[in-house]
């Protein structure tokens, strides 16, 4: 069944630009990625979803946080333009996205430490999706 989560995943994996850039669709996951799986990868979460208008088919707004996880800051940042170009209006998994707003992004640098204390870099992108079911 289509949901805002499947819609966002379909938006990010639309076409071949992300896989061509180095992240195949199988590495685009909702919520989390397993430790020790191949990098780079993308995870995303819908943090908030609310009604914007009255009516039987109301406009809805969803706040999305997307993380590009890569071994270095430079590698994570290299996906920024690709991600920005993928966040567009259109119909994804039958859900009509009428407007999108790239709110901003920041970078969490990698943590260099011993063993499992090591953490990869993350490019965190926040965007808002306006859609109708």
| 38 or 101: CB nearest other proteins | 101
Q: Is the peptide bond before 40 cis (omega within 30 degrees of 0)?
A: yes
Q: How far apart are CA 108 and CA 121, in angstroms?
A: 6
| 52 or 88: CB nearest other proteins | 52
Per CB under 8 A, the list member of 24, 51, 94, 133 interacting with other proteins is 51
| 103 or 111: CB nearest other proteins | 103
H and E: helices and strands count for the chain: 4, 6
Please give the residues from 100 up to 129 whose contact with other proteins meets the rule CB under 8 A. 101, 103
Q: Which helix (H) or strand (E) holds 73?
A: helix 73-77
Distance of closest approach, residue 54 Cβ to other proteins, in angstroms:
5
Query: Other CB atoms closer than 10 Å to residue 1's CB: what's the count?
Result: 5
Task: List residues binding other proteins (CB under 8 A).
Answer: 51-56, 58-59, 99, 101, 103, 130
């Amino acid at each position: 069944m289509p949901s805002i989560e499947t819609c966002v995943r379909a938006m990010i994996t639309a076409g071949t630009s992300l896989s061509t850039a180095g992240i195949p669709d199988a590495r685009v996951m909702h919520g989390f990625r397993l430790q020790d799986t191949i990098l780079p990868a993308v995870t995303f979460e819908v943090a908030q979803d609310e009604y914007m208008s009255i009516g039987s088919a109301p406009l809805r707004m969803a706040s999305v946080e997307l993380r590009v996880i890569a071994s270095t800051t430079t590698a994570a940042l290299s996906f920024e333009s690709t991600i920005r170009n993928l966040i567009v209006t259109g119909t994804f998994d039958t859900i009509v996205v009428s407007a999108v707003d790239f709110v901003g992004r920041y970078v969490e640098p990698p943590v260099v430490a011993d063993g499992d204390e090591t953490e990869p870099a993350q490019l965190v992108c926040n965007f808002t999706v306006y859609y109708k079911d």
